[in-house]
Structure 1
Amino acid sequence: MTWCWYGETVDGIKGDDVIRRGAKRAEVEIDIGDTAPELTVRRTRSRGKPKLVVLKDGKPLDLSKAEIQGKINAWIGLDFKSFKNSVLYGQGDAARFASPRTKDSERKDMLHRIANTEILQTCHTIALAKRSDLQDEIEDVERQRVSTRERLEEIDLDTLRTRSRGWEEERDGRVAEYQAEVAGLLVKAQEHAVDAGKLPDLERGLKRLEAERDEMAGAETASAQEIEALTTELDAARTRWEEMSRELAGLKAKREQMAKQISETKGVAGAVAELSERLEEREGEQRETEEAIAGCDAELSSLEDTLEVLRGEDAVIGPEIARVETEAKRCDDELERLDGDRCPTCTTPLTEGVAAEYISELTRNRGRYNEAAVKLHASQGEITRPIDATQKVLNGAKEKARQLRTEKGTLVEHASGLKASLAIAEGAVECLAGLQEESDACKGRGEVLRAALEELKFIGEERKEALETELAKAWLRQKTDRGRYEEIVALTEELAIARAAAASVENLKGQARREMERLQEAIHEVNPWSTAFDEAEAKAVEYRARRATLDKELQRLENELAHVVFWVRGFGNEGLPSFVLDSVVPYITDRTNHYLGVLADGDISMAFYTQRELKSRDGVKDEITIDWDIEGQGRVPPSGGQLRKMEIASDLALMDLVATREGVQLDLLLLDEVLDGLDREGRSRVLELLGELRRRRGSVFVISHESDLAEEFERVVRVTKRNGCATVEVVK
């Protein structure tokens, strides 16, 4: 019911947890009283997909989820927390109004919801927002006033007037400076024009000398090319001579090595016959070992077949033993879980009926499974002994086969070594003749290289003499033409000076033109300070008028802010909400003590009152304080039964408060284990009070595990849970 109306459960289950295990969705549908038209609330939830609708005459209303929840709260007259504290009394609830575990803020929230002070909070929020807006506007106007004052202070008309006069004087000075600079540039240009007039004659003389220089450079290039060719040829001859020398030395060393090898190889031929005899002996031993290995392999195959048959029989018995032991363990676990007088799931007695038969059957099954396990273990032992014996014989045969194969490997390795040594010896005999032939060939190649070296030595000396002659000719030619080159250098320097003078004349003319342009610009330049003075004067008039307007706006906003601050306090904690709490707390005290008079026969009294505390930042803060007397002693810790009576009395007082505030009488009360923890007298007084409430308020539902309470109520519904299934039965 609470999940359908509010989307929450008494025990705090939320989200997909409301869907029962194995189901795909949860759905609850409840009609809202005897309304016309008929209204129905339907809440459903699939995995991760909640849905809430209100049906009006069977048709869904077009409302958002928040709007639907608001209407449900209005139709019922309570939100979830108020409903839970006014209508429900759940076992182990931690949010009872009078419970020591309930926070002060939670108590105040309950009373504010019952007193419908949400409109005051809304008004307070609006007033706070308005105050914040006005404060922002005032800050903005203040910033504008400061900015306007600063800008007005920045305007200095006297300074602008003085700067304008100074600018005129500075401009006249620049004009005079530009005129003097132009005159100086013209004088310098006339001086450089004399050197620039020599430029044509110097260019013609330079062209003639450059032509002669090019002819000389051609002859010099040909000589250099010839010298380079001779040098290259001489270097090639030297390189060839060095290569042949290295080759001749290598042939000599190779021939000496071959002579040594021939000497060593002559003693190998005698060992070939001895190696052949030893090889035949090893091959005979190898054949005998292979025959022994074949016999061992046959014996191993027979033993492995026998072992496979025995293991197959053991594999059949093993799973059967595991299954029987698992069933016996399951029976032990179930008997251990049911070790007691009542079922731990549904609290049904275990000494009679179906439960007793179920326990007896579990005991018999456990005995049968244990007996079968003993027999199967005995059969497995009879199979295991032959397996172990066969495995032992098989391991011995495998070890013998391994030793024979190791011996065979040693013989094969020894025979391979003998074959390799024999092949090496035979190869050495064959190589002896080849080494002798190669030695003779090296000797002939050495004689050819010696003749070629003598010829290269003669050619290198001849090319060296020709190269020295050509170098002497080139040196003489360079000495003869050095005077002509010095003349070209001197003429080139004079030509550079003339060209620099001509470039300087053009540069000076350009500078003079630029200075004339600057002079004209300075003469026609407009005084900027005169315009700035006029603009500053106009801005000063504008800023004075703006400051007067901002002063009036600031006064208006401050007056409006004072009015809004008054209402912020009126709708705040120290205003109307505090007044509402002051008005309802005495009523709760009176009604709580009325019910305690029935429940505790006047031995317990309670007092609820508000206490205000000044906070440095939040202003005044209300706190709800609870005092109580038990048998004339103030604030002594109550027992569990006394605390239960105090909670019941305060919750019934809240129900009365809801009725007075809403103008309707609540006709429903749900209590879960309300008598738990009470002595006989306490139970009697609670039942007496519930009878009174039943006569005055309508339906009272009590949930209890104590069956002897049935005779105290008009109707009794019994819920029995057996084997995971709940059965509902109307007893009377």
Structure 2
Amino acid sequence: MSQITIETLQIENFLSIKEGTLNLENRGLLLIQGINEDDSSANSNGAGKSSVVDALSWALYGITARGRSGDKVVNRTAKKNCRVEVKFREGEDVYTVTRYRKHTKGKSRLHLFKGESDLTLGTDKLTQEQLEKILGCSQEVFMASIYAGQGCMPNLPAMTDKELKELVEEAAGGKALEAAYEIARKRAQEAEKAALVVATRYETQERTQGALELQIEEARENVTGWASENAGQIATAEKSVNDALTKAKGLKEKATPEARAGLEARIESIKADIASVASPPPAPIAPVAPSYPAAAYPKPRPLPPAGSAALAVNVGKNKVKLEHATKQLGNLAHELKHLNDKVGTACGECSKTYEEGDLAARKTTIAKQAGELKTERDTLISLIAADEASIRELEELHKRQIEEVDLENSLAADEHRAVCASLDAEYEEARETHQKALDAHRAAIAKLDTSKLLAALTVAQSELTAFDSVVADIKTTLTLAKTIRERVEELKAATNPWEKEVEKRSEELDRVLDVRKATREELDLKNEAVEVAKAAVAVFAPNGIRGELLDSVTPFLNDRTATYLGALSDGNIEATWLTVGETEKGELREKFHIDVDNKHGDEDFEGLSGGEQRKVRIATAMALQDLVASRAHKPLKLFVADEVDDALDVSGLERLMGILEDKARTTGTVLTISHNDIGDWVRDHITVRKSGGQSIIEEAA
């Protein structure tokens, strides 16, 4: 079994302690005393002695021995940079635990190292879990195994049966048994659930088996039913074949080739009789409608003469020229009339004043131009008159030509109408003649009587059609008989489909039976597991092994209590741990308690003096702590006695120091915290000195 050895403890700005370093390995009996220079009336109280133990608990678990945590552990004067570091050893492995609060460097984190290897995880919670695995115990077990303090020392002799049982069970590992009980209950529940799942599956398989057996029974009934139905269909089909053949045979006896030949000969005879009747006269031919000759009119009127248009154009042009020449003559006459009016006026080009001599040349020019224009005018008048006369002659000629054509067209129209009227008269006469001939033809037809022959022909043809229908019916009946015969062969060759269904369901049933057998075996195993789990629950139940636990630890508690109390009381006081008690009637019953007896005083705990009660409480509490330490997974080589000497007389104190000396030899280091002057009993001591709101730890010189 490995042990945990606390080597050193470093404290910085924790509670009242400003700084200090303690070597805790193999110090033997080590006294922690205090001096409170801030309050002379308090003596050593408030100096910070118990803060040393609080620092150890806080560094390892994040909570002090007195239940403080968070920012409450930071020194009130410094207000920051709180740090506690613990080094401990397990075998050859050395671990360093450093916990910070409001620290400039470490913030409020927890760091864990194994030698030089950093074991710190992502969160303080994960790191704390890692640390507790290394320590092998929780904070409660840690404090219970190493710490005896005035404020937390239980009054064991005064406890009730239930309170004492719970405390001793916890100290003896009863928590583990309780946890084992819960685990056993949980496993039993899980086993029952697992068994229920298998049982449900087994029942489902049973229902499946029943359903398959029912399906097989139904399928077998269907096999019989199908066979019966198939036989009935075969019998019905064979009867239909026989009926069809019988019908075809009867029809064949009537519809012989000779009978058909007789019908055909009969029809031909009737047709010959009809043909032998006198033929009617041929129908008269209808007259053809007249075809009128094409009309030789009207002839087109002649076009105007070609030259008249050209003459009209020349007349128009010459009239324009005539108008222009006449206008120029007027302009010259006007200029000549007013030419003398320019005499005495200035020339518009050279500004020279006109004189009569200056205008003579212009008068000559005007006279010449006027003569030429008059000649041109006269010529144009002659041309216009000649052309207009020619135009009138051509128009008279064209008028006479039109009158001649119109007369010719009128005569041709009269002649054409006369020809058409003659043709219409001839057609009407021919049509009347044809109508008379047609009436005579109809009368001749009416005299002929072929109705009886036609009726006989119709009857004969109907009989021939009926004969052909019978022949077709024979073919249809024979075809039907063939089809039914083929169906009979199919029915005879058909395999009963329900036989495969029976085979299939039977195979499924065999598989279900095999699975159900395996499930039954599995269910038996699950039920056995349930019984085992229930047995485990019974073992770890309060009336099981947990009840035996008290019987097993009672001798140890009595031995340790006797050792401690014998030393403290010089054998005058005895405290015995008992699991049974006596009622007022003298009957024995289960009761866990501590029986106290003073050889020279009262017989029960309540009758002892305060100092005697204190000795009993110390002895029983230390015995209980020994029980915790003895059952710890990794025992701690450290013990803390915090003011356990309070209220002891000198002899009791001397005996207590002897006990602590013995404990120091087994644990290596026992920290004794006291505000009494016990330096004479303890050689090694340290002082916690408080001044200015902060304490420092001083080692003895």
TM-score range, shorter chain: 0.3 to 0.5
**Which structure's residues are more often helix, by fraction?**
1
The structure with the larger Rg is 2
With a CA cutoff of 8 Å and minimum separation of 6, indicate the structure with the bigger relative contact order. 2
TM-score (norm 2): 0.42
Query: Normalised by the size of structure 1, how large is the TM-score?
Result: 0.41
